[in-house]
Amino acid sequence: MKKVLILLLLVVFGLILLTGCGSKEVSGKKSPYMQMQKQANQYNKAGAVAVVGQGESSREDIARKKSHVDARANLAEALNVKVQTLSKSFLEEVGTTGDTEINEAFSRTTKTMASSVLKGSLPEDEIMVEDEGKITIYTLMVINPSTFNQSLMDEMNKSKNKKLYERFRSSQAYDELNNEMEAYEESQIEE
């Protein structure tokens, strides 16, 4: 009897140990976001502009779209920082620091460039995690630094010389505006 009891106790103890082991989770793995961010940091160190976006949904396509939108929003913010740095170096290069006309042309050009660059930005890598019907997608988005830097400098050098003529515009918009003003004049006469 004593032997049976001891055997039973050992079995129960063994079961407890097994359950305990099973319930413990040893986590040494990084989150998917941190994995992507590590990749982005490597791109950023190399001079690129790289960000991670995150999107969550019960549908994979929507989760992916959300992550792309999130990545592009982060990219716009990161680009802004990049553009500030480029702005400083451009002004130093052309020796016109403090020239507000240059700043205007620069901000106009960078706005246009940033929007076209964002339109052309494509995801570089992706991690998908599925958990209880919920899909989370992490997207790595990168902009090629040499293309962006050189394009920006080229555009600026082009636009710098043309800035005078930008103020006077020969355009079909003149007809629309003129019609508006003529209609306004007529309304004033009627009154």
Partner 1 sequence: MNMKNKMILAITLFTVVNLFGISSYPVWFLYPSKYPNTITGYSYGGYSPTVDAERTYCVYNECVANGTLYTFQDSDKKNSEYFYYFSPKELKRIKGKLHSLSSFMTNVISSEYVKLFSTNKNINVDSRYIDLKNSTIPKWIKKRPFWQDKQFYYGVGEYQSKGSENDAWKTAEEQAIFEIMTNLAINFYSVNILDVTEKSERYEKATATKVKYKFKNIQIQKRWIDLNKQYYYVLIRIKKNNVISPYLN
Q: Which chain residues interact with partner 1 by CB under 8 A?
A: 77, 96, 98-101, 103-104, 107-108, 160-162, 164-175, 177-178, 181, 184-185, 188
Comparison of 40 and 63: residue with beta carbon closer to partner 1: 40
Longest pairwise C-alpha distance within the chain:
118
| Nearest distance in Å: CB 187, partner 1 | 9
| Nearest distance in Å: CB 110, partner 1 | 11
Residue 150: burial class (beta carbons within 10 Å; 0-12, 13-18, 19+): exposed
| Nearest distance in Å: CB 93, partner 1 | 14
Comparison of 96 and 149: residue with beta carbon closer to partner 1: 96
| Nearest distance in Å: CB 57, partner 1 | 24
C-alpha–C-alpha distance, residues 103 and 53, integer Å: 31
C-alpha–C-alpha distance, residues 124 and 31, integer Å: 18
Task: Compute how many other C-beta atoms are within 10 angstroms of the C-beta atom of residue 148.
Answer: 20
Q: What sign does the CA torsion over 186, 189, 190, 191 have?
A: positive
Comparison of 1 and 173: residue with beta carbon closer to partner 1: 173
| Nearest distance in Å: CB 77, partner 1 | 7
Report whether 179 contacts 116 (CB < 8 A).
no
Comparison of 12 and 81: residue with beta carbon closer to partner 1: 81
Task: Compute how many other C-beta atoms are within 10 angstroms of the C-beta atom of residue 62.
Answer: 14
What is the identity of the amino acid at 116? Answer: S
Comparison of 3 and 162: residue with beta carbon closer to partner 1: 162
